Amino acid sequence: MTARLRGALRERADQVEPYDLYHGALTLARRRRRRGRILAAVAAVLAVALTVIVPLDRPGRDLPAAPPTAPGSLPNRVGVPLWGTSEVEDRPIGAASVVFGAPDWWPLGSKGALALVGAHEDVYGISHDPRNFRYAGEQAVLSPDGTRLATVGAVIDLGTGDHTPLPGLGADWVVPQAWSPDGRRLAVTAYTADGEKFTGATLYLVDPAAGTSRVISDLDPRTDRDGYTVAFSRDGGRLAYQSGAIVRVTSMDGQMISRFRAVDDSRLAGKGAWTPDGVGLTLLRQSRCCDGADYPSRWKLIMVDPATGVERSTPAIRELTDLVAVRLLGWSPTGEAVVTASYPFAGIDVAGFETGGARLGEGLTDYERIRKTEVWAVSPFTTPRTLLTGPDLQIRSVDVADDVISGGLIRAARPPSGLGPYLRNALLVTIAATLTLIVIRVRRRRLGQPRS
């Protein structure tokens, strides 16, 4: 090293300010304390957020539940099932009081999904079928005791999660319509199709447990409407069904008892069409009317003699207005008709039984027409009483177990809230990853590793 180079280095070194070891140590300690406070604050904020937005208990756990032997009770309201709610096959709920559907519960939609609510508490489960766009009460019906859900092609045991396939019947779709009162037999419509368009429809009685079936009658696929085709009498001895304008009453072994023509385009009102005493059959009639009304349509339940079709003098209920559709589910202990009442979207055209029906899930109850569906109890002379409701757009098709309807018990419900399992798990992973990264960075700095 030359003398000139040594001199230049010494001159350069003299220009560098000496490091203050004491103050440097204080600065480093303060920096570390700040990092520790930031870490603690981040952890506290995440913990508080998790506690606030994620419920720690299952919805309804703290509600007084009816004894398991009771027929169950109807929640007075339902809510959107949380995203990631378990399917009933994976986590059975035992028995359900209600099943309902809507197409847009979650970010990716809920086509093919139905929510079931426990018979005794607000425990929610999901039935998912990506192949079929099902409507509760039309292509999916609860057994009378709520322990099974009949759906397209299968019966799901809500106590075990097991699937029992329905007989194929040489059809493209086998669609449940109504259960017999003892829950042993199921009326189904077997549809054949050319592409997606129905070309044939046949009514069968099926014993799901035994896997047996018996044909009842061919139906007109152009006029057949799921949910409005079949009704069992309360004693289980008779079956009423409709094809076109003709209503037939048969015994359970298929023997014809009577037939009549339903006038004014009326139809069987639903699975609860028989009166509890069995002496009347209820039809549903629509009239277009009411200029200036938001939705100019009226629905009326008409009592007829099941032997002749002659209208009885006393109507089941007064006319209901401003509704897309009405369907009779059954009768309360005090004799009120328990019906679904579906509200329209604003500005849609009036629909009736002549609308759609050529494909599975089409018809007057199409979700594109229905904004919300409730369950009402109605009588001839009083204002309808709301038994079950829910948020707009989130409950658009409904079925209720027969025993819950006839039992008449209503409970104050607490629908689920907070994050669903999918979002909750994502949040937990995010929190864990964030804390891990913070800890790693702090440890690296404390060990004196080079900063990234």
341-377 pLDDT, tens per residue? 999 999 899 999 988 777 777 789 999 999 999 999 9
pLDDT of 228 higher than 70: yes
On whether the CB atoms of residues 420 and 85 are closer than 8 A, the answer is: yes
More confident residue, 421 or 338: 338
Comparing CA positions, the residue from 124, 139, 138, 57 lying closest to residue 88 is 124
Q: What residues are paired with 219 via a beta bridge?
A: 201
Cα separation, 209 vs 394, in Å, equals 34
- Residue 448: left if φ>0, alpha if ψ -120 to 50, beta else—which one? left
On whether the CB atoms of residues 411 and 73 are closer than 8 A, the answer is: yes
Average pLDDT rounded to a whole number, residues 269-297: 91
pLDDT of 385 higher than 70: yes
Pairing state between β 74-75 and 410-411:
parallel
Q: Is 410 exposed, middle or buried (0-12, 13-18, 19+ CB in 10 A)?
A: middle
pLDDT of 18 higher than 70: no
Domain extents in the chain: 20-53+420-446, 74-411
74-411 has which fold? Neuraminidase (2.120.10)
pLDDT computed for residue 318 by the predictor = 76
pLDDT computed for residue 439 by the predictor = 67
Question: Which range is least confidently modeled, 32-41, 101-110, 342-351?
Answer: 32-41
Comparing CA positions, the residue from 270, 219, 226 lying closest to residue 245 is 219
Of the pLDDT bands very low, low, confident and very high (cuts 50, 70, 90), residue 59 is very low
Comparing CA positions, the residue from 148, 70, 162 lying closest to residue 116 is 148
On whether the CB atoms of residues 337 and 377 are closer than 8 A, the answer is: yes
**How many helices and strands in the chain, by DSSP H and E?**
4, 26
Q: What residues are paired with 320 via a beta bridge?
A: 299
pLDDT computed for residue 367 by the predictor = 93
Q: Which residues contact 149 (CB under 8 A, 6 or more apart)?
A: 88, 96, 99, 114, 116, 127, 140, 141, 142, 143, 155, 156, 158
On whether the CB atoms of residues 77 and 415 are closer than 8 A, the answer is: yes
